[in-house]
Structure 1
Amino acid sequence: MKKTELLNSEISEVVARLGHKDLLVIADSGLPIPDNVKRIDIALTKGIPSFRDTLNTVLTELGVEKAYVAREMIDKNKKLYLELSEQFGDKLVIIDHEQLKEMCKNAKAVIRTGEYTPYANIVLESGVEF
């Protein structure tokens, strides 16, 4: 059995296959997911699992070079924006929500959580850990 926090085999496999600059999205329950992108749907009910729990667990195995969030998060979900700003620092890049949705088309996978707050979506750009 795995020793790390991330137990979901689908997510673990996607993370293991990511190369430098590959994209992985962690999404709230409402983000549209392109048909051609792998969907890992872990949503159970409103708020479960949460965006934060999912993100923090994925980050135990994923090195991130940049993290992209929608500008709309600043006003519509300020608490989350401030938390992510503190967590990612200068790695956090602010883009329009429409740009974020476009980036999803190039993601290796989108992890759909049960998050039920607005604009709780992040595009993670895989980094290099050496």
Structure 2
Amino acid sequence: MKKHGIINRDIASALASFGHTDLLVIGDCGLPIPKGVPCIDLSYKIGEPAFLTILDAVLDDFEAEAASIAREITAGNPVVEGAIMEKIAADYITHDELKTLSKDAKLIIRTGEATPYANIVLRSGVIF
């Protein structure tokens, strides 16, 4: 049994397969999932698990060299925006651009988050 990091077997296995520049999306429960992109759906009720809870767990176990969030988050969800920026410096793109970029993701993790624009695209880095 794993002793540290993410113990969800599907997420742990998927993250182990990521290479440099692969994209990982963590999304709220309303983010559309593009056809053909694998999705691990962690939601079990509205709001659970929270986006920030999953982002923390992923960032503890995943080397992200870059991140993108929707610029609409500034007006629509400043609390989550501030928490994201404390964890990782993210670039701003439009929400439509984020949804388009998610089509190139290697994996989407769906949370139960039900606040606006609680989505992030992480670009895999390298650990050396």
Same fold per superposition (TM over 0.5): yes
Could you tell me which of 109, 112, 115 is aligned with 1:114? 112
Post-superposition offset of 1:82 = 1.1
What are the residue-to-residue correspondences of 1:47-126 with 2, within 5 Å? 47-89=47-89, 92-126=90-124
Post-superposition offset of 1:55 = 0.8
Aligned residues with identical type, % of pairs: 46
Counterpart Cα distance in 2 of 1:55 and 1:88: 10
* Aligned-partner residue type, residue 45 of structure 1: K
CA RMSD in angstroms comes to 0.8
Counterpart Cα distance in 2 of 1:22 and 1:125: 6
Counterpart Cα distance in 1 of 2:104 and 2:52: 23
The count of corresponding residues between Structure 1 and Structure 2 is 128
**Which portions of structure 1, spanning 4 or more consecutive aligned residues, are displaced by more than 2 angstroms?**
none
What are the residue-to-residue correspondences of 1:25-64 with 2, within 5 Å? 25-64=25-64
Post-superposition offset of 1:50 = 0.6
Counterpart Cα distance in 1 of 2:95 and 2:124: 20
- Per-residue deviation, residues 80-130 of structure 1 (Å, max 9, x unmatched): 1111112213xx110000100011100011111000101000000000111
Contact residue 73 and residue 120 of structure 1 kept, 8 A: yes
Post-superposition offset of 1:36 = 0.8
Post-superposition offset of 1:30 = 0.2
Structure 2 unmatched runs, 5+? none
TM-score, length basis structure 1: 0.95
What are the residue-to-residue correspondences of 1:1-20 with 2, within 5 Å? 1-20=1-20
